[in-house]
Structure 1
Amino acid sequence: MLEILSLIKARLSVIVYVVAFDATLLTVLGLRILPSILIISTLSVYLISLANYTLSDLLDLEEDRINNPKRPLASGKVSKRTAQLFIIALYALAFILGYFINLLFDAFLLFSAILAYAYSGNGIRAKSKWWSKIGISGLGAFIAPLTVISITGFSIKVILMALILMLWAEFSINLGDIFDYEGDKRTGVITFAVAYGKDNAINLLKVLLVAQLVAETALLISFKSFNLLYMGFSLILFAFFMKKVSVLKRPNLDRNYIKQLKNATRVMVIVLQLITLSFIL
């Protein structure tokens, strides 16, 4: 039981996806959403996201022993057998609950699971090349809010919110690649940082910050109302992370700085998603 709890706790990335899904669903439908639909769909997205991340940890076990030795699987706190059974149970529950929403919802969950395997799985291992790593990880983040269209139907607001999460996910992924630079070089993972150097990886982070601000502005325009809270927080995020990213070029920078910045990114994205709900007030 303690092994399972160690796999569940402290997964900020999972919370990011769940909050993004709920924020998108509630922003588009508002109070028209049935409580049962909200609860079941939220739980399904949580289960599929936790399953995907646990699967990634299982497939990345050797790399994590170098880059993230304190993770439950890498540290030996959780056995591979326990993780495998946990993953199967999570996927089964997610698809069963998703069935009560509709088949399209389940199709989105299935696509998300396929992307998770493609990211680290043997034979495909998209993360071994920077371009496929960026593409698959970005698409995985895009799918979480996009799943909402199985409930709401097509909406430009859903597309924009999915795009915003995708850009923030790309930012977090590339930030993590800078953190994992030495381990990736040893294990042959060709990230953008390994292929083009840390300085260019830092420049890419700045480009992503600009793209995020543009997408957030487009979302504001789509609501045809000036939301001072949302725009103000978006500008604060842009200025904050642009300043923090510039520090990454300092020589002999403590790796903990990057780790803390990555965690701050996840927290700030959660706050941004919650602030998005102000559009329905």
Structure 2
Amino acid sequence: MRADVERFLDWLRIERRYSPNTVQGYARSLVRLEAHAQALGLSRWEDLRGAQLQTWVARLHREGLAAASLAQLMSTCRSFFRHLAREGRIAVNPALGVRTPKLRRKLPQVLDVDEMSALLEFPADDAEAVHDRAMLELLYSSGLRVSEIVSLRWSDLDAANGLLRVTGKGAKTRIVPVGRLALEALDALRRQDHADDEDTILRGRHGRALSTSGVRTRLKRRARDQGVWKRVYPHLMRHSCASHLLESSGDLRAVQELLGHADIGTTQIYTHLDFQHLARVYDAAHPRAKRKPR
């Protein structure tokens, strides 16, 4: 059973080219699955039944495991058993009919336009500020994931046409636009660093590529210095970019392409944010909606 798990993880790394963090997530879930199978006294995956998985999910839920974690766990199990079926190791995927608790989807937090302006508008009067301005402008301009921005090289940027080649989840490549202010900030950074095409755009100490934790730390510090007291983190910049773009354009498909979502259902969460904005404007402005003063 362990050998089947290792072969599956190798397939994710080599064939699917998943990131190390993603593979580690799969591995953690499969450790739990193995422990469950061993507790049942099983020695072959083909002996595991859907009812046994359903009982396991119910027990984990009673023990307090969150619905999102259960959904992720069963998603991993389904992928693993689907792989075993392709390899001829099992005849039926036992996880297919297993239900998990309904997932309550939280709306992402965003900065409003004024808060974003307060965050981005600081003088680029020293080397660190030039770097941070480029980093923040690019995060907001192009809606990048933190894992995407740290891997960017100058060769990925087509400054003349305002385009950026981004490698996202599953090693999928997409082309995204870069706004004027972000391009100006990037030009200042490249001139400051005397960077070559194959240099990473974001660099930390000693010229090494900036880490994802480095991006988070610098973003948090810059937000504090700018007086933005919300918790500011890279994915908040991505959420804010998507929300502001959808609010202005109403083009859900374009936002999906920008963010690199495989499923438009993932992008549709931003329509709820847009409706919330509409409701606030309506309540504040419509003559028949204004609340009477108390």
TM-score normalised by structure 1 residue count: 0.27
Higher helix proportion = 1
Task: Specify which structure has the higher proportion of strand.
Answer: 2
Return the structure number with greater relative CO, CA threshold 8 A, min gap 6: 1
